[in-house]
Amino acid sequence: MILRRRSFVIKRMPGFTLLALACFFALYMPLAPLVVYSFNEGNNIALWEGFSLRWYQAAWENQLVQSAAIRSIVVATIASIIATVLATMVALATTRTRPYRGQTIIYAMVNQPLVVPEIVTAVALLILFALIKQATNYHGYAYLVIAHSAFCIPFAYLPIRARLEGMDRVLETAAADLYATPWRAFKRVTLPLMLPGIFAGAMLAFVISLDDVVITEFVKSAGQDTLPTYMLGQLRRSITPEINAISTVLLGISVLMVTLIFFLSRKKTA
């Protein structure tokens, strides 16, 4: 009699479902009061006084919120584009070349912002930009864009690299066999197959930049508040359901973007 060994499947482990539900509850239950009280009629964030869209309207008509939101979107868009372009170049250099000395070091350096505490990166950027400001007397938005771009590169890099590593290289080899130049093979074969990973990396970088507080708080100059830093400033003064409404909108955008990233990442290569 031959005994067949059953393959290990974590879903079959005792208590897996209960543990998974407990983790989801711990992660998302604190968000429920935030969303619910964003529709509160009264000024109290802990006392329900009836359903209303009052605070969403107040946030929409608040000029400070409008300017901070526009600034956040502009900075996040530019930073995500820069980070995605650089991440794509690095991903190609670490997956579509022969192994070379220092490749592991490059991989570690690209992912360094994920390992080093964000406050350390923020302080380092603060010191660097302070020296540049002193030498150039420039205090514009370029510092925010550069800081966000640098911080977002590893977030864009990971899905792009994963996409490249999961691609079948037969089509690229076939293009080379048919006398396609490296650039033509990249343009006609590699790039179209990479696009889901590139879009996923760009959206992930956008979300990270849009939600960033620590680096922005250290790098920004006066009058350069983004939406998260504006909310932080308001929390230091007074707390109203308007902050709940803004937070709920940001949460909805983040959930939508992460959902799109999930579906793009799951799209199979040809």
Distance, first Cα to last Cα, the chain:
43
Q: Is residue 9 included in any domain, yes or no?
A: no
Q: Is residue 5 included in any domain, yes or no?
A: no
Q: Which structure tokens are listed for 83?
A: 């980070």
pLDDT of residue 241: 83
pLDDT of residue 8: 66
Q: Predicted confidence band at 1 (pLDDT cuts at 50, 70, 90)? A: very low
pLDDT of residue 192: 85
Q: Is residue 26 included in any domain, yes or no?
A: no
CA distances from 103 to 63, 94, 100, 190 (A): 48, 7, 6, 21
Q: Which residues contact 112 (CB under 8 A, 6 or more apart)?
A: 154
**Measured distance CA(262)–CA(257) in Å, rounded:** 9
The sign of the dihedral angle between the CA atoms of 60, 61, 67, 70 is positive
CA distances from 190 to 145, 205, 212, 246, 267 (A): 29, 22, 32, 40, 15
**Measured distance CA(75)–CA(94) in Å, rounded:** 28
In terms of residue numbers, what domain contains 136?
A: 51-266
Q: Is residue 187 included in any domain, yes or no?
A: yes
Buried b (16+ CB within 10 A) or exposed e, 55-83: bbeebeeeeebeebbebbbebbbbbbbbb
Inform me whether the pLDDT recorded for 98 exceeds 90: no
Q: Which structure tokens are listed for 125?
A: 């950027």
pTM, 2 dp: 0.82
**Measured distance CA(146)–CA(3) in Å, rounded:** 60
Inform me whether the pLDDT recorded for 54 exceeds 60: yes
- What's 240's DSSP letter? -
Q: Is residue 234 included in any domain, yes or no?
A: yes
Q: The CATH number of the domain where 228 resides is what?
A: 1.10.3720.10
CB atoms under 10 Å from CB of 192, counted, come to 13
In sequence order, what DSSP letters do the residues of 151-185 get, joined into one string? Answer: HHHHHHHHHHHHHHHHS-THHHHHHHHTT--HHHH
Question: HSE (CB half, 13 Å, CA atoms) of 214?
Answer: 11
Q: Is residue 167 included in any domain, yes or no?
A: yes
Q: Predicted confidence band at 270 (pLDDT cuts at 50, 70, 90)? A: very low
Q: Is residue 61 included in any domain, yes or no?
A: yes
- What's 134's DSSP letter? H
Q: Which tens digit of pLDDT belongs to each residue from 190-212? A: 888 888 889 989 998 999 998 88
User: Number of structural domains, the chain?
Assistant: 1
The average pLDDT across 63-90 equals 92
Report the SS3 class of residue 51.
strand
**Measured distance CA(9)–CA(85) in Å, rounded:** 38
Share of the chain above pLDDT 90, in %: 21
Q: Is residue 191 included in any domain, yes or no?
A: yes
